[in-house]
């Protein structure tokens, strides 16, 4: 009986000691949000949004590159739009006109993604778009109207 208690104590010491040693050696995990710029964000072009169709779409948009060379489209804190329709999409274009070609696609129009909220936000441009895309267009698919555009300079 004494030998059995002795073995139980040794086993507990071994299990508990192993637990603490195993937890201490694990590296700290750092989660990186790849939808956000890493390091510094260097702006290469900027523009002011021109409202269309009385939608309240206003603010400043910038295109730039982070420290790792990834391109982003950024909406500043002053960005506002009417989110009531729920389908405002961000597009890059070669002009201020939204002109999709539903049959073949339009090589001068690149859909980036939906607007999720007002205020500062980033859209990762991966792969980086051609330099010919120098306009941002806000398009509402539900109402089939432009909400606004910005010429990037």
* Best CA proximity match to 73, nearest among 58, 91, 97, 96: 91
Q: Return the sign of the alpha-carbon dihedral for residues 20, 26, 27, 29.
A: negative
* Best CA proximity match to 87, nearest among 62, 107, 67, 116: 116
The model's confidence at residue 127, banded by pLDDT at 50, 70 and 90, is: confident
Average pLDDT of the segment spanning 43-63: 97
Percent of the chain scored above 70 by pLDDT?
Answer: 75
pLDDT digit string, tens, across residues 11-37 = 555 555 554 444 444 456 555 556 899
CA triplet 38, 125, 111: central angle to 5 degrees? 150
C-alpha to C-alpha distance for 150 and 43, rounded to whole angstroms: 15
State residue 19's pLDDT score: 47
Average pLDDT, the chain: 84
On the question of pLDDT at 136 being above 80, the answer is: yes
**Per-domain residue ranges of the chain:** 41-151
pLDDT digit string, tens, across residues 78-104 = 999 998 877 899 999 999 988 877 666
């Amino acid at each position: 009986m004494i030998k059995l208690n002795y073995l139980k104590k040794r086993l507990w010491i071994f299990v508990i000691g192993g637990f603490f040693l195993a937890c201490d050696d694990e590296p700290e995990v750092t989660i990186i949000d790849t939808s956000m710029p890493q390091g510094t964000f260097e702006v290469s072009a900027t523009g002011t949004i021109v409202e269309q169709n009385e939608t309240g779409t206003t603010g400043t948009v910038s295109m730039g590159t982070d420290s790792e060379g990834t391109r982003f489209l950024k909406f500043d804190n002053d960005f506002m739009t009417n989110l009531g329709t729920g389908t405002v999409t961000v597009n890059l274009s070669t002009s201020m006109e939204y002109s999709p070609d539903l049959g073949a696609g339009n090589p001068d129009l690149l859909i980036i993604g939906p607007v999720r909220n007002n205020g500062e936000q980033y859209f990762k441009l991966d792969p980086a778009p051609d330099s010919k895309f120098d306009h941002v267009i806000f398009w509402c698919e539900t109402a089939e109207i432009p909400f606004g555009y910005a010429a990037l300079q």
